[in-house]
Amino acid sequence: MNPITTDPLDRIRYPIDEWALVETEYVPEEQGVAESIFAVGNGYIGMRGNYTEGRGGVSYGTYVNGFHETWPIRHAEDAFGFAKVGQTIVNAPDAKVIRLYVDDEPLIMEEADILRHTRRLEFRDGFLLRETEWSTPSGKRVLIRMRRLVSFTDRHLAVVDYEVTVLDADASVLLSSQVLNRQDGADEYHSRSVIPATQFDPRRAETFTERVLLPRLKRTHGSRSLLGYQASSSGMTICVGVEHRLETENAWDEQSQIDDDLAKHVFRVQAKRGKPVRLIKTITYHTSRGVPARELADRCDRTLDRAKYVPVEDIVAQQRAWLDDFWARSDVEIAGHPDIQQAVRWNLFQLAQATARTDGHGIAAKGVTGSGYGGHYFWDMEIYVLPFLSYTAPIVARNALRFRYNMLPAARDRARELNQRGALFPWRTINGQESSAYYAAGTAQYHIDADIAHALMQYVHASGDTEFLKRGAIDVLIETARLWEDLGFWRSNGDQKFHIDGVTGPDEYTTVVDDNLYTNVMARANLWSAVNACRQLQADDPVEFERMIRRTGLDVNEIGDWERAAEAMEIPFDPHRGIHPQDAQFLDKELWDLEATPESKRPLLLHYHPLVIYRFQVLKQADVVLALFLQGHEFTPAEKRRDFEYYDALTTGDSTLSAVVQSIIAAEVGYHELAEKYFLTALYVDLANLHGNTTDGVHVASTGGIWSALVSGFGGMRDHGGRMTFNPRLPQSWERLTYRITVRGSRLRVDLEQDCMRFTVETGDGARVWVHNEEFIVTPAEPTVVSLVHQGPRMSGHTPTTSDIQGTLRADGSVITASIPTISLQRNVEQDASGS
């Protein structure tokens, strides 16, 4: 994935609007992508942007966070401890379907004569709006207007507001509102346009060959229907309910029918020319691990009863109010670039849709927009999404961390299965059990333990919520520290270093390595966090300390062991090249010639056997560079620049997690143009389908990374150990960048311009910040304005390449950075965002 340099969108098709994603055409062959980027959701319920008429789509999907089926993983060659229970998000019954017939002619978007068409995903209103004007086969002009909304305020509620007007004639209008169990194939039309399964892509979800949703309940009365199911193997239950209200001046009647996989309410309307027919469909989903469907049905009834008496406009107003608050906390403004502004807000809006009401669940790789990666939760959540949440929505961050805390018993069991003390969190999971069937790029990613500890401490520092730690979350630090201390070892050659062998770092293009730099640096921080948290709890609150001892069986001598391991942690460094090897053996590998690798062979993982990829210095994402970001205070600016230059040249960016991190560190070390390119590449990853798999859902981690790239990359914010430092580097073409962060209950607005930055306290008491190492106390009294004179190094437009590395190494093995002629190592580089 080479970084892009310009706006990749066709702006006739997708016109710029700072507060909405807009499309002006229906393009059948791009529906897969459109369904993902126009999806609506609230972190619990998600509905893909399929057309309401239920035809012509690629992937019909409705997802309820955590509602999954399990299946026995059958390994072609099994081994002890391999993951046993596969978990896959279920395609929940599709309740958004309203089929439209005018004079018995169906509206099928891909075949219809469409006179004009727009869709708008409204970032402030929180709904998907559509207007389509259709010329029927008999030549009647029909206007369809639709709003689709998944409520942020009422977690179980969604609304489809569908209005049809025959503009130039009378006509018979038939609306067939349906609830369809698509998981088990209850749509005869579906298979026609489904993605061909022939092309191998491990990133897709498992498919089932047997029935998943066992019918448990069907009930219809009046304009309401309920369908209840139990997932065949996981035993989870779901109930979906719909309630209809038809508003029209035309004459009409209604019929309903229900069977196991389909509930149908049919409205026949004798529509007069110009007289609208409006069907308001209120939808609710309730799920559970095992509560009987009939009880969920009662819950559905209650949700529908409540919504019944609320006018749609009130629901819309509540949604708007919620989003007003969201944007007040979370908006990032880029003055003078409405195209970028639009894409940034789309990314932030995705974060709201993926996280707002996850409540007790995790945040899946695709949020609730698609079934990619099986609906699993990964480390993305902690490292890419939680920074945004911790600084804009602490309560949501806390819920996500509580979700991990609740997984601790399963993580303890898994550690035991892998012969370790402490807890090992699953690399990918829905229910807490490891579900990664390929351990080399799964279970071996022990770093997830440290990632969770990192996110936990970041939340605690950002929010000041030490109570959360005290009252249980500290156990996560303790059990993960235990794992590291037990997993690592003191090498018998007497080097006095603490080593961690046989693990995989975030970069999945090498696996099962020794002393992965990212892992060791993060594990060290994990151990220190545990040491500090235990000592502080002991000092501050002996009673809670005792409770913790009772819960964890901690022996206080363990704390000393953790400290010793942390202090002696091996941090690989190559003095010759002046860089940190990705792992102990990495620099001995052969270099992959990326420049000679054609685009047709990218991403590498779809074209080369893992053994081939693993044999080379080539990266899916640069995990050393990620370490430079997350633990930046542990590295000098010169190290950061050399590391960045070395690894950037080797990085394919085949992971969507790559570009945002490259952007952040490129900005920090002075590659400003490159930082912008990477930023754009991440910004449009889904909007322009740059990785070719947006059909499978939105890359939520990348949307979180966009916030980090803005706030920590260009905005230069770091928070190592809770110290809020700012070393901004605004792109030269940007006039102003404005963002908000909530720190220990106080919301600050930060306005960054080329020559100054301004901190304004919007709520709360203010905060202490450091700008270029100078301390400022920001108070509500008046904005704090800081003049910016430092801009750090600014590198030329040259992008590091493998031939830079190869050329140098082949010639004389000298320091790699010398190969980039525009950079002088002697240049006086200012100390950057380090905690020193």
- Which stretches of the chain bind its own copies, using CB under 8 A? 73-83, 86, 200, 202, 417-419, 436-440, 442-444, 489, 491-494, 499, 501-502, 511-512, 514, 584-585, 587-591, 605-612, 614-615, 806, 809-810, 812-813
CA 594, CA 349: separation in Å to the nearest integer?
35
Residue 273 or 416: which CB sits closer to its own copies?
A: 416
Give the position of tokens 């022990």: 446
Name the pairing type of β-strands 171-180 and 157-166: unpaired
Residue pair 466/460 in contact by the 8 Å Cβ criterion:
yes
Residue 436 or 712: which CB sits closer to its own copies?
A: 436
Using CA atoms, how far residue 664 sits from 431, 667, 717, in Å, is 33, 5, 10
* Residue 499, both tokens: 């080593």
Query: Closest distance between its own copies and the C-beta of residue 586, in Å?
Result: 11
Residue pair 154/354 in contact by the 8 Å Cβ criterion:
no
CA 824, CA 830: separation in Å to the nearest integer?
14
Reference 72, options 63, 83, 62, 64; nearest CA is: 83
Residue 493 or 822: which CB sits closer to its own copies?
A: 493
CA 415, CA 410: separation in Å to the nearest integer?
9
Query: Closest distance between its own copies and the C-beta of residue 435, in Å?
Result: 9
Query: Closest distance between its own copies and the C-beta of residue 413, in Å?
Result: 13
Query: What are the φ and ψ backbone dihedral angles of 198, each rounded to 5 degrees?
Result: -70, -40
Residue 6 or 209: which CB sits closer to its own copies?
A: 209
Residue 104 or 588: which CB sits closer to its own copies?
A: 588
Reference 64, options 149, 126, 157; nearest CA is: 157
| Helix ranges restricted to H, 596-636 | 610-614, 623-630
b vs e for 253-279, b when ≥16 Cβ sit within 10 Å of the residue's Cβ?
eeebebebbbbbbbbbbebbeeebbbb
Query: Closest distance between its own copies and the C-beta of residue 76, in Å?
Result: 3
Residue 292 or 610: which CB sits closer to its own copies?
A: 610
* Residue 324, both tokens: 């007003």
Query: Closest distance between its own copies and the C-beta of residue 193, in Å?
Result: 24
Give the position of tokens 């061909």: 196
3-state SS class at 539: helix
Query: Closest distance between its own copies and the C-beta of residue 426, in Å?
Result: 13
CA 572, CA 798: separation in Å to the nearest integer?
28
Residue pair 394/746 in contact by the 8 Å Cβ criterion:
no
b vs e for 654-673, b when ≥16 Cβ sit within 10 Å of the residue's Cβ?
bbbbbbbbbbbbbbbbbbbb
Residue pair 341/333 in contact by the 8 Å Cβ criterion:
yes
Residue 3 or 505: which CB sits closer to its own copies?
A: 505
Query: Closest distance between its own copies and the C-beta of residue 810, in Å?
Result: 6
Query: Closest distance between its own copies and the C-beta of residue 451, in Å?
Result: 18
Residue 83 or 625: which CB sits closer to its own copies?
A: 83
Active site residue 479: no
Cis amide leading into 542 (omega within 30): no
Residue pair 762/328 in contact by the 8 Å Cβ criterion:
yes
Residue 290 or 494: which CB sits closer to its own copies?
A: 494
| Helix ranges restricted to H, 619-671 | 623-630, 637-648, 658-669
Residue 492 or 733: which CB sits closer to its own copies?
A: 492
Query: Closest distance between its own copies and the C-beta of residue 621, in Å?
Result: 17
Reference 227, options 400, 97, 85, 375; nearest CA is: 97
**Which residue type is seen at 248?**
T
Indicate which residue of 35, 508, 563, 673 is catalytic: 508
CA 483, CA 500: separation in Å to the nearest integer?
11
CA 389, CA 408: separation in Å to the nearest integer?
22
**Which residue type is seen at 520?**
N
Reference 825, options 595, 641, 688, 665; nearest CA is: 641
Active site residues: 508
